[in-house]
Structure 1
Amino acid sequence: MSDNSNPVAEAIEQEALRRKPARNVRPLMRLVPFLARYKSMVWAAFFALIMATLSTLAIPMAMRRMLDEGFSKENAAFIDQYFAMLIFVALMLGISSAARFFFVSWIGERVVADLRKAVYEHILTLSPAFFEITRTGEVLSRLTADTTLIKTVVGSSASVALRNIFLLIGAATMMAITSPTLSGLVLLPLPLIVLPFVIFGRRVRRLSRDSQDKIADTSAVGGESLNAIQTVQAFNHENEEGRRFADTVEGAFAAARRRISARAVLTALAFFLGLSAVVGVLWFGAQQVLADRMTGGELLQFILYAVFAAGALGALSEVWGDVQMAAGATERLNELLDVEPAIKAPSHAAALSEPGRGEIAFEDVSFSYPTRPDVSALSGFSLNIKPGETVAIVGPSGAGKSTVFQLLLRFYDPQSGTIRLDGVDLQKADPRALRRRFALVPQEPVVFGMSAAENIRYGRPEASDEEVREAAKAALIDDFLSSLPEGYETRFGERGVTLSGGQRQRIAIARALLRDAPVLLLDEATSALDAESEQLVQKALDRLMAGRTTLVIAHRLATVRKADRIVVMDGGRVVAAGTHEELVAEGGLYARLADLQFGQGEGGVAPVRQIAE
């Protein structure tokens, strides 16, 4: 396998190795289209393999001539030529082997790079419904662990396998030409030698996988305790956790001992049976030489070819398990590539109006999430929103508020009913074109581990530096970003962990401002901010909402009071709509929520508690 000393790479490779190998190597055929892109490199690798094989096979023939011709003063010139040719053969072998290694390794790296890109690009097109039933960790594992294993096999093991296949065929052919009798004799003990290898080889592979699993258990137990070290120490469980880890370590050692024992038996059988077979053939060959039925040079030539063939066969048996593993890894990647996106553009997508007006209509929409088909997230939901209108959506937990956003962005399609944007049925529009009409500020804003400018430019990648800065100024984040060590080029940590909640929120607002979309989807999350941050974010939100159709999942009374209309949801339906004053006077669900969450039905003071999601 790989000799990579990188511990992260080794961990990834070990994870892949614990997966079951494929029953056959047919899945590897799916790599052929990736190989076909680099035909010239494939042919170069093939030519280098041929040259390396021919150079290797030339050595026993030269040895035979040297032994049969003998050493004497009369043929001194021949001996000089012989050694000069051996040096030339060594040079050709070195050059062709280096070329073979380079071309095959290059192809392996290039194919896996293309495969990773193809799989990742395909994953990005899959709808959220796919990730409801598939763990993100499993997808990333396939994208990293499985592709790493394929790279190891295609770029390294494949090179070894191809070289030894060529060498085995060439050596076996030359053995038959050199001495058909000895060649036939070699085949007689072959079943006796192969059978133990097959039986014990399977056992060794099974025990190796078990050993790897035990090692993984050790890491899991240790990681679990260390990640909860305060809890462990608070409950004085150091000794118990130490014993639990020790038990796991001892289990890993026991599994390793069984693997080592089986490997030792296999090694003993390999040496005894292999060398016994060689000794038997040598004895018979010596008898042939003594009887003048073949020359000593022919016997030496045959032995060398037999050594080449045996070495090649042994190398192939070692890489066969790797090839099976790679086939299994390819099979798992193919499963991802074969998943069809649930949401995709129709063959003849309807064009959205230019410029976008931001008119939205839900017409008797019913929807259930794929993982909860018996639970209606929306049921007979209808709502019309005029261009430029600000609508606040409120309701208890599970009312369907977030589902409205999910369907508008066409992450899902409803089971019945129609959703329209500017008069166009969303299911008849291209999802990418549709999503360009929306700007989203989520409740938990996402900040990527890239620069501040790149994070804001996520809203519109083609935006200029000046446009990025103007968006930041409008979002009241320019002063902070300018004060950073590298200004707008300062890179944030993963998920923006170095930023406060208010700073992340304002970066998300700047991103939405830069997008300049006709419809704003705002999952307002100011309830978790301190008073100063809330004030800054609210000012930025006011600028963002100006002149746009805005849907707000409302948590704060200030936002509710500013909305043109408040829509109250319960059980996936609209149960009331109107202004704050109208709904409070009307009583019912909104009045109860206002009383519970706002602290008073008339809503004079801004609350600190949020309406339940």
Structure 2
Amino acid sequence: MSSSPSTEQQTPENLDVNAPVNKRLSILMELVQFVRPYKGRLIAAMIALIFTAVVMLSVGQGVRMLIDQGFAQQSMAELKSAVLFILFVTVLLAIGTFTRFYLVSWLGERVSADIRRAVFSHVITLHPSYFETNGSGDIMSRITTDTTLLQSIIGSSFSMALRSALMCVGAMVMLFATNIKLTLVVLASVPFILVPILFYGRKVRKLSRKSQDSMADVGSYAGEAIEHIKTVQSYTREQQEKQAFSDEVEKAFDIGRRRVMQRAILIAGVIIIVFGAITGMLWVGGSDVISGKMSGGDLGAFVFYAILVASSLATISEVIGELQRAAGATERLIEILNVDNHILPPETTVVDASLLQPVITFNEVSFNYPSRPDQSAISALTLTVEQGKVLALVGPSGAGKTTIFELLQRFYDPQKGSVRLDGIDIRSLDPKALRDKMALVPQQPALFSSDVMHNIRYGRPEATDEEVIDAAKKAHAHGFIENLPEGYKSFLGERGVRLSGGQRQRIAIARAILKDPDILLLDEATSALDSESEHHVQQALEQLMHNRTTIIIAHRLSTIQHADNIAVMDNGAVVDSGDHESLMQSCELYQRLVHLQFRGGLE
């Protein structure tokens, strides 16, 4: 088992990890569209943030009063006033912090939920070719892990960055107002702080993107192994899978370790430079106090503001690392949101698909899958299915049978020719309206992690319980459903693992019956079943096919016996067509398939 392709390879070429910091972080502006609907709360949060910054800065004046008027004058009244002022400021600070924290955290939760919903809503409508080159594990990592990271950034780190920036600017103003000479000492250290932030910030962002991609690979590998757990255990490959997964985890850990190392170096360097500057400032300021050039209160206030500047810069340097990770996560999410859907409804729908008769025509259709552009899946195919008739598609693996279903449902558009419904090119129809006329019963039915009722009702969500039960009866599924622990409310497990193959197939048929389609597509619906299950499923299919235009991909003679016409396919083209007897006389390929695949049925 191999892990999915690294998402590193899927990074668009225009995303340059070595671009300037402001350009790289500008990707975060893409989040504005999700924040804009809540601008009222954002403004309130900003007001609370500015309020708390101003209140915090006023604490420095309380410190000056405490030293100059309380300690220096030995006055209890002045000391009491200074202490009460600091206490009052503390209460205001608590109120402002509560308001800011709640509003910003709410905004983070709300925006991340909206992004998650927007990405999923977009992904669920994308053309199937997108999923041929993008693993489900990577997509899920973007929807869950990356949006959770953005939630933390918007709800915490971004607020911290703004607060620290305001505190830094405000504290710098107060430093100049308190003592210009000491302020110049502090400012001399600023270039030494910016250099490591810019240099290591670039490394942090590059490693952040790699870290998120590697975690997506870990999730993809784990999901694949768990999905195929029976195969893994059947071949006793548990130890090898453990080792392979461990290798993936270690790769992710190594990238994460390097990212953390760069951030740690950045933070440590800033701390050394900042507090080194404060130490120098204390030497100069202490000398001025001793010589009487400034008061102890001014020095105390100056130290308080200098510490605010230092802590703000340290916070900003740390948050920049978080913002770099947020930029990486935003890139990955915006990549998905910017993927164009190749299958779109016409700009002006002039034909109502529901009014069309279920007559299907493939007219000189040629098609190559996007992931295999040099390999023809369908070549100059011409085929007609009359209303209410049953067409069986027969041919070796890779002949193009399943591709016909995918083109008919317009999961892909042909490069040449046209697929027509009642003479109308299906590209001129709304894909949803087109698919509403069809129901697919695949070889491996897709059941959801829910109860029986939900899985059958998936065919027509507005159906009543009575209609669901009636569909189950027609699908010969009602009997075994009633014997389940909770009947129609029984939970089926992931992919319906609690049911047998025949039972899952009959649930899928019941779903198709409930949908009541004009066109029925059966993809080898009985090929993997035992004789008894096939008998029940075949009875259900007879009920389902009655008076419907039906196309069957057939691997068993029992399904061909119902066909009005049989099309023999090879290399993406129809090589012959007719009934069983005529094809046995005229088509060598059909004769060979009958002898190889249908021998048991013939006997």
TM-score normalised over the length of structure 1: 0.86
* 1:108 to 1:222, Cα distance in 2 relative to 1, 3 A: closer
Map of 2:188 onto structure 1? 188
Please say if residues 21 and 324 of structure 1, whose CA atoms lie closer than 8 Å, have aligned partners that are also in contact.
no
| Residues 47 and 212 (structure 1), Cα distance of their counterparts in 2 relative to 1, 3 Å cut | closer
Cα distance between partner residues in 1 of 2:427 and 2:220: 45
Q: Structure 1 residues 317 and 472 mapped into 2: Cα distance closer, same or farther (>3 Å)?
A: same
Query: Would you say how many aligned residue pairs link Structure 1 and Structure 2?
Result: 581
Q: Distance in 2 between matches of 1:115 and 1:225?
A: 29
**1:51 aligns to what?**
51
SS at match of 1:125: coil
Q: Secondary structure at the match of 2:392?
A: strand
Given that residues 105 and 159 in structure 1 are in contact (C-alpha distance below 8 angstroms), is that contact kept between their aligned partners in structure 2?
A: no
Report the residue type matching 2:484 in the other structure. Answer: L
Aligned-pair CA distance for 1:259: 8.6
Q: Which amino acid aligns with 1:561?
A: Q
Alignment of 1:14-93 (within 5 A): 23=19, 24-71=24-71, 75-93=75-93
Shift of 1:273: 4.0
Question: 2:353·2:434 contact (CA, 8 Å) conserved in 1?
Answer: no
- Report the Cα distance in structure 1 between the residues aligned to 2:384 and 2:251, rounded to whole angstroms: 64
Summarize the alignment of residues 216-365 of structure 1 with structure 2, pairs less than 5 Å apart: 272-352=272-352, 354-365=354-365
- Which has the higher mean CA deviation after the structures are superposed, 205-214 or 363-372? 205-214
Q: Per the alignment, in what secondary structure is the counterpart of residue 32 of structure 2?
A: helix
Deviations 1:241-270 (A, max 9, x none): 99x999999999999999998888777755
**Preserved contact between residue 362 and residue 384 of structure 1 (Cα < 8 Å):** yes
**For the Cα contact (< 8 Å) 1:350–1:424, is it kept in 2?**
no
- In structure 2, relative to structure 1, the CA distance for the partners of 1:544 and 1:42 (3 Å cut) is same
Aligned to 1:604: 602
Q: Secondary structure of the residue that 1:344 maps to in structure 2? A: coil
SS at match of 1:527: coil
Shift of 1:550: 0.4
Report the Cα distance in structure 1 between the residues aligned to 2:458 and 2:296, rounded to whole angstroms: 77
- Could you say what secondary structure the match of 2:566 adopts? strand
Separation in structure 2 between the aligned mates of residue 210 and residue 568 of structure 1, nearest angstrom:
49
Residue pair 1:64, 1:300 contacting (<8 A) in 2 also: yes
Confirm or deny: 8 A CA contact 1:353 1:422 kept in the other structure: no
| Secondary structure of 1:590's aligned partner | helix
Q: Note the C-alpha offset of 1:230.
A: 7.8
- Is the Cα contact below 8 Å between 1:449 and 1:493 reproduced in 2? yes
Deviations 1:459-481 (A, max 9, x none): 11111111111111111111222
* Residue 415 of structure 1, CA deviation: 1.1
Structure 1 range deviating more: 154-163 or 248-257: 248-257
State the secondary structure of the residue aligned to 2:576: strand
Q: Evaluate the alpha carbon distance shift between residue 225 and residue 577 of structure 1 in structure 2; reply closer, same or farther with a 3 A threshold.
A: closer
The aligned residue for residue 611 of structure 1 is none
Change (3 A) 1:554 1:222: closer
1:448 maps onto 2:448 in alignment:
yes
User: Once the two structures are aligned, what percentage of the paired residues are identical?
Assistant: 47
Give the 3 Å change call, closer, same or farther, for CA 250–521 of structure 1 in structure 2: closer
Q: Quick one: which amino acid aligns to residue 545 of structure 2?
A: M
| TM superposition shift of 1:395 | 1.0
For residues 149 and 374 of structure 1, what CA distance do their matches in structure 2 show? Answer: 40
**Do the aligned partners of residues 355 and 188 (structure 1) sit closer, same or farther apart at CA in structure 2, a change above 3 Å counting?**
closer
Q: Is the 8 A contact 1:524 1:553 kept in 2?
A: yes
Match for residue 543 of structure 1?
Answer: 543
- Contact 1:525–1:555 under 8 Å retained in 2: no
Could you say if the C-alpha distance between residues 463 and 131 of structure 1 is closer, same or farther in structure 2, counting changes exceeding 3 Å? same
Contact 2:502–2:537 (Cα < 8 Å) also in 1: yes
In the other structure, the counterpart of 1:367 is 367
Q: Tell me how far apart the structure 2 counterparts of residues 425 and 219 of structure 1 sit (CA, whole Å).
A: 42
For residue 93 of structure 2, give the secondary structure of its aligned residue in structure 1: helix
Residues 286-337 of structure 1 deviation map (CA, whole Å, 9 limit, x = unaligned): 2222333322111111110000110010011001011011112111211111
Residue in 1 aligned with 2:561?
561
Question: Offset of 1:77 from its aligned partner?
Answer: 3.6
Q: Distance in 1 between matches of 2:151 and 2:587?
A: 66
**Offset at residue 509 of structure 1 (A):** 0.2
CA distance in 2, matches of 1:373, 1:247: 34
Q: Distance in 1 between matches of 2:555 and 2:278?
A: 83
The secondary structure found in structure 1 opposite 2:352 is: coil
Distance 2:277 2:587 in 1: 96
Matches within 5 A, 1:162-201: 162-192=162-192, 195=195
The change in CA–CA distance for 1:347 and 1:250 in structure 2 (over 3 A counts) is closer
Q: Deviations over 1:540-570 (max 9, x none)?
A: 0110000100000111111111211111112
Whole-angstrom distance in 2 between the partners of 1:144 and 1:252: 17
**Shift of residue 581 of structure 1?**
1.3
Q: Do the aligned residues in 2 keep the contact of 1:20 with 1:328 (CA within 8 Å)?
A: no
* Separation (CA, whole Å) in 2 of partners of 1:220 and 1:118: 22
Code of the residue aligned with 2:321 in structure 1: it is: G
CA distance 1:176–1:455, shift in 2 (3 Å):
same
Cα distance in structure 1, aligned partners of 2:247 and 2:382: 60
Would the alpha carbon gap of residues 587 and 277 (structure 1) be closer, same or farther in structure 2, given more than 3 Å must change?
closer
Match of 1:3 in 2: none
SS of the aligned residue for 1:562 comes to coil
Task: Quote how far apart the aligned CAs of 1:82 are.
Answer: 2.8
Deviates more, 1:504-513 or 1:69-78: 69-78
**Corresponding residue of 1:12:** none
Q: Find the residue that maps to 2:124 and give its secondary structure.
A: helix
Q: Is the 8 A contact 1:63 1:297 kept in 2?
A: yes
| Cα displacement string for residues 195-236 of structure 1 (whole angstroms, at most 9, x for unaligned residues) | 4666677778889999999999999999999986786799xx
Residue 275 of structure 1 and its aligned partner are, at CA, apart by 3.5
Partner of 2:427: 427
Which residue in 1 is equivalent to 2:7?
none
Give the Å deviation of 1:513. Answer: 0.4
Deviations 1:318-359 (A, max 9, x none): 010110111121112111111111110010123235444311
8 Å CA contact 2:17, 2:202 repeated in 1 = no
Contact 1:129 1:342 in 2 (8 A): no
Please say if residues 28 and 326 of structure 2, whose CA atoms lie closer than 8 Å, have aligned partners that are also in contact: yes
1:523 and 1:247 mapped to 2: Cα distance?
A: 39
Please state whether the residue corresponding to 1:38 is helix, strand or coil: helix
Two-structure CA RMSD over aligned residues (Å)? 3.6
What SS does structure 1 have at the residue aligned with 2:92?
helix
Corresponding residue SS for 2:376: coil
Hey, what's the Cα distance between the residues in 2 that align with 1:224 and 1:528? Answer: 23
After superposing the two structures, state which structure 1 stretch, 194-203 or 28-37, moved more: 194-203
SS of corresponding position for 1:70: helix
Q: Which amino acid aligns with 2:302?
A: F
**Structure 1 212/373 Cα, relative in aligned 2: closer, same or farther at 3 Å?**
closer
Residue 456 of structure 2 aligns to which amino acid in structure 1? I
CA distance in 1, matches of 2:289, 2:254: 52
- Shift of residue 37 of structure 1? 0.5
Going from structure 1 to structure 2, the CA distance change for 1:435 and 1:211 (only over 3 Å counts) comes to closer
CA distance in 2, matches of 1:225, 1:489: 29
User: Are residue 120 (structure 1) and residue 114 (structure 2) matched?
Assistant: no
What is the Cα deviation at residue 45 of structure 1? 0.6
Alpha-carbon distance in structure 2 between the residues aligned to 1:161 and 1:374: 52
**Alpha-carbon distance between aligned partners in 2 of 1:378 and 1:414, rounded to the nearest angstrom:** 9
Q: Which amino acid aligns with 2:44?
A: A
**Which one-letter code corresponds to 1:89 in the other structure?**
V
Instruction: State how far apart, in whole Å, the 1-side matches of 2:76 and 2:470 are.
Output: 88
Corresponding position: 1:586 with 2:586: yes
Query: C-alpha separation between the residues in 1 aligned to 2:391 and 2:249?
Result: 60
Name stretches of at least 5 consecutive residues in structure 2 with no aligned partner.
1-10
Instruction: Answer whether contact 1:44 1:103 (CA < 8 A) is retained.
Output: yes
For the residues of structure 2 that align with 1:137 and 1:252, how far apart are their CA atoms? 15
